[in-house]
């Protein structure tokens, strides 16, 4: 697991005390690396809603541990799983992780494992999910780097990314940022352009924090400055993650991704999505069917230092930007149509062009990489 001074997420238990799930509180970064202990499922649901733990792959892992926590504490595990799965609606990995661990718990219960045995089975499954995420991340990093070598041959790369997709969202090095990191390790990164990612600043606060830790050459830019950067010919490829990929190949990711895809197409720049196969949701037919989370207006109309999510205390502590009570449009994600996506990199391989057929191929049982 990546080292952040404190781990991104850890299971803590001892003979004397009930277990808890301890998170690196991402709302406090980069100002301070502090942990947030979730002693039960309501704590974890609140932490997910406040973005203390966030990013599609890590949401799946956290949700899985949440089911293990519910099982260890005793009580209604099915109800806890439902609450966790719906804590945020867009990243399909969250529900996938929750349901996977719930299935392991049920299978153990049905097999007569008893309460302790079923709780142990749930925890083992959550740990397996966590480890698999790290392995998937390493494979995506390798495949993504090879792909960039083919798409943009013969030069050190200037890569633009949006939101935060690194070690903070993963058991390993993440999704898009894992590819950036592999390029950097190979000595081939000329510049990482980091979109600040309004309104919650995952780029400025979290990706820049990760870039510093990896000693990457990087600059943060206001999201609205990306157009001038493309126009100046300063971007060789865009790399982003995904929260859900519909069956038709549409990609839901942090709001602001779709405008980058349009810019990339206009300027003839590759637009590459990096995501584990668990992000593909065959049950969601088209991009328009993806449920996009709408977040509180205060996240747009206020800002607070150190950063705090609007759920909770921003109202008291935030600096008012817009007039008090201003309405806001605040979707957390947007949807990029498949024809604007050059390639999707997964741990099972690269899909390009991105079509209903090629995406379906990713999910076929015969495809193992
Ligand atoms: O609202 P967030 O911070 O959870 O949004 C995260 C993103 O949009 C990421 O780009 C996505 O989860 C892909 S990989 C982490």
Q: Please choose, from the candidates 179, 233, 166, the residue with its C-alpha nearest in 3D space to the C-alpha of residue 29.
A: 166
Distance CA(94)–CA(103), nearest Å, equals 14
4, 24 Cβ separation under 8 angstroms: yes
163 within ligand 1 shell (Cβ under 6 A): yes
pLDDT given at position 15:
86
Please tell me whether the interface predicted TM-score (ipTM) of this complex is above 0.90. yes
Q: Please choose, from the candidates 99, 254, 256, 249, the residue with its C-alpha nearest in 3D space to the C-alpha of residue 175.
A: 254
Q: Given the DSSP bridges, would you call strands 319-320 and 302-303 parallel, antiparallel or unpaired?
A: antiparallel
Pocket test for ligand 1, best of 61, 136, 165 (most atoms within 8 A of CB): 165
SS3 at position 21: strand
How far, in Å, are 19, 49, 202, 211, 240 from residue 181 at the CA level? 34, 29, 17, 9, 13
133 within ligand 1 shell (Cβ under 6 A): no
Q: Which residues of 40-68 are buried (b: 16+ CB within 10 A; e: fewer)?
A: bbebbbebbbbbbbbbbbbbbbbbbbbbb
Tell me: is residue 253 an annotated ligand-binding position: yes
Q: Quick one: residue 221, left, alpha or beta (phi over 0 = left, psi -120 to 50 = alpha)?
A: beta
Which residues lie below 8 Å from residue 230, measured CB to CB, with a gap of 6+? 263, 264, 266, 267, 269
- Tokens read off for 310: 């609007």
Tell me: is residue 178 an annotated ligand-binding position: no
175, 241 Cβ separation under 8 angstroms: yes
- Tokens read off for 50: 């406040």
CA 248 centroid distance within chain: 21
54 within ligand 1 shell (Cβ under 6 A): yes
Distance CA(27)–CA(17), nearest Å, equals 27
- What is the secondary structure of 303-368 as a DSSP string? E-SS---TTTTHHHHSEE-SPTT-----BSEEEE-GGG-SEEEETTEEE-S--HHHHHHHHSTT--
Tell me: is residue 54 an annotated ligand-binding position: yes
122, 68 Cβ separation under 8 angstroms: yes
Tell me: is residue 190 an annotated ligand-binding position: no
What are the percentages of helix, strand and coil residues in the chain, rounded to 5?
A: 45, 15, 40
Query: From ligand 1's centre to the CA of 163, what distance in Å?
Result: 6
Q: Which residue has the tokens 């830019």?
A: 221
pLDDT given at position 214:
96
**Could you read off the pLDDT tens digit of each residue along the chain, which spans 369 residues?**
445 567 999 999 988 889 999 999 999 999 999 999 999 999 999 999 999 999 999 999 999 999 999 999 998 999 999 999 999 999 999 999 999 999 999 999 999 999 999 999 999 999 999 999 999 999 999 999 999 999 999 999 999 999 999 999 998 999 999 999 999 999 999 999 999 999 999 999 999 999 999 999 999 999 999 999 999 999 999 999 999 999 999 999 999 999 999 999 999 999 999 999 999 999 999 999 999 999 999 999 998 765 655 454 444 567 899 999 999 999 999 999 999 999 999 999 999 999 999 999 998 766 654
pTM: 0.95
Distance CA(130)–CA(247), nearest Å, equals 25
Query: From ligand 1's centre to the CA of 165, what distance in Å?
Result: 7
94 within ligand 1 shell (Cβ under 6 A): no
How far, in Å, are 40, 90, 169, 355 from residue 86 at the CA level? 16, 9, 19, 28
94, 88 Cβ separation under 8 angstroms: yes
* Protein residue closest via CA to atom 9 of ligand 1: 55
pLDDT given at position 364:
78
């Amino acid at each position: 697991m990546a080292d952040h001074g404190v781990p991104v997420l850890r299971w803590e238990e001892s003979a004397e005390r009930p277990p808890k799930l301890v998170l690196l509180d991402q709302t406090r970064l980069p100002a301070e690396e502090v942990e947030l202990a979730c002693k039960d499922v309501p704590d974890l649901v609140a932490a997910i809603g406040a973005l203390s733990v966030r990013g599609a792959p890590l949401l799946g892992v956290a949700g899985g541990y949440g089911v293990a926590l519910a099982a260890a504490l005793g009580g209604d595990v099915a109800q806890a799983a439902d609450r966790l799965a719906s804590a945020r609606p867009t990243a399909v990995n969250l529900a996938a992780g929750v349901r996977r661990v719930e299935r392991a718990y049920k299978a153990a219960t049905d097999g007569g494992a008893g309460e302790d045995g079923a709780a142990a089975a749930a925890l083992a499954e959550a740990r397996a999910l966590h480890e698999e995420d790290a392995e998937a991340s390493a494979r995506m990093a390798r495949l993504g780097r090879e792909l960039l070598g083919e798409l943009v041959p013969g030069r050190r790369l200037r890569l633009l990314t949006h939101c935060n997709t690194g070690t903070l969202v993963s058991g390993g090095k993440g999704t898009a940022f894992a590819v950036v990191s592999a390029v950097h390790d190979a000595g081939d990164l000329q510049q990482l352009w980091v979109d600040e990612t309004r309104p919650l600043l995952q780029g400025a606060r979290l990706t820049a924090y990760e870039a510093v830790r990896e000693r990457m050459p990087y600059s943060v830019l206001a999201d609205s400055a990306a157009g001038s950067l493309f126009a100046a010919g300063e971007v060789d490829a865009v790399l982003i993650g995904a929260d859900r990929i519909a069956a038709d190949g549409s990609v839901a990711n942090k709001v602001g991704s779709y405008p980058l895809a349009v810019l990339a197409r206009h300027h003839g720049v590759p637009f590459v999505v990096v995501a584990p196969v668990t992000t593909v949701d065959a049950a969601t037919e088209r991009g328009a069917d993806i449920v996009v989370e709408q977040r509180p207006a205060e996240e747009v109309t206020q800002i607070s230092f150190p950063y705090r999510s609007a759920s909770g205390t921003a109202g008291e502590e935030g600096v008012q930007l817009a007039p008090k009570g201003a309405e806001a449009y605040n979707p957390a994600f947007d949807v990029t149509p498949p024809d604007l996506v050059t390639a999707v990199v997964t741990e099972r391989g690269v899909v390009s062009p991105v079509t209903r057929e090629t995406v379906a191929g990713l999910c076929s049982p015969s495809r193992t990489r």
